[in-house]
Amino acid sequence: MPPLFFWSEDPNSPLAQGECDLWLILLSLGVSIIASNQALRLAALAREAVTPQLRLGAIAGGSLSLGGGILSMHLISVLASTPPCRH
């Protein structure tokens, strides 16, 4: 197997070693928990809705909540990672 697949401490290794900011990762986790909780609450509201307009509003709100949470979680995680730069 090529040595490219194994971790190496050699600074001239072709493997990229980056860093992450722990607080931003935890913020990303918190955003994902809050967004998924809100989406599940709106899904429960849609299930108990008495009018089609309320059901559609709850489904749309839950979709936007979950989609926005996923996008926010992804962008915060991208900000948390620091790629290595070699000159």
What pLDDT score was predicted for residue 5? 57
87 close to 21: Cβ distance less than 8 angstroms:
no
Cut 0.95: pTM above it = no
65 close to 42: Cβ distance less than 8 angstroms:
yes
Higher pLDDT: 87 or 36? It is: 36
Q: Per-residue pLDDT tens for 8-63?
A: 666 666 666 677 889 999 999 999 999 999 999 999 999 999 999 999 999 999 99
What pLDDT score was predicted for residue 8? 61
Higher pLDDT: 22 or 2? It is: 22
Q: Per-residue pLDDT tens for 57-86?
A: 999 999 999 999 999 999 999 998 887 665
Q: How many helices and strands in the chain, by DSSP H and E?
A: 2, 2
